[in-house]
Amino acid sequence: MRLDKFVTHSTPHSRSEVRFLLRDKRLQVNGEPVRNAGLILTENDQVTLDGTPLTLRGQRYIMLNKPVGVISATEDGHHQTVMDLLQTEDLRDLHIAGRLDIDTTGLVLITDDGQWAHRIKSPGRHEKRYRVITARPIPEDATNRFAAGILLRGEEDAPTLPARLQCLGGCEALVWLQEGRYHQVKRMFAAIGNHVESLHREAVAGIELDPALAPGEWRHLTVAEIAVGLPQAAPQATHLAG
């Protein structure tokens, strides 16, 4: 691995900042100052920054309970983002694995493991469960209509994949989706003549939102939770500082 890539993956510094670290002789390899950002490191080389040994950061997997009014984005000039809630300086390379609307609450998964995020989001592979409160009582035939697939306005050529609907009585229900179309739950209920008043995501791919997390709080995934998005055994998760 190149020295500059190693440093960017083990510290908050960008690749352009690495050049200044080298210029100021703050980076050393095996106790000696170096100037070549493209130096190829071997597994036996020890890199230090200001005398502190550097080690590669492991991949990070986070669940967050998104409140109303927070957007699922890495940055925004007008609204608070889920990244703002992490309260850590090292947000580099973190991405959202499945976004929620600004008025939707619940489980958001955040990671810097792109392959894991892709598997979690792949349509048909992992279900997402939502708790819904509607403006009017949910009709008895809604369960069968959701299971058959709904034709959404503007997408009449392709019905939704079969979705499970469990009515909890009156205006409340649980919905399991296999895909993630734009405003899908809201549009499905609109298609059967109802309106979603409240939408909360409880689970993704078997990863349940931790009930101990208040809105705006987050924690790292357990090894078992990470394993849901892995083809084989789960790796050791590492934590963000802070």
- 50 assigned to active site: no
Catalytic residue among 50, 101, 113, 157: 101
Contact 132, 156 (CB under 8 A): no
Contact 208, 202 (CB under 8 A): yes
Taking the C-alpha atoms of residue 120 and residue 107, their distance in angstroms, rounded to an integer, is: 13
Contact 205, 120 (CB under 8 A): yes
Task: Label residue 230 exposed, middle or buried (CB < 10 Å: 0-12, 13-18, 19+).
Answer: middle
Instruction: Please give the structure tokens belonging to residue 174.
Output: 């649980």
| Catalytic sites, residue numbers | 101
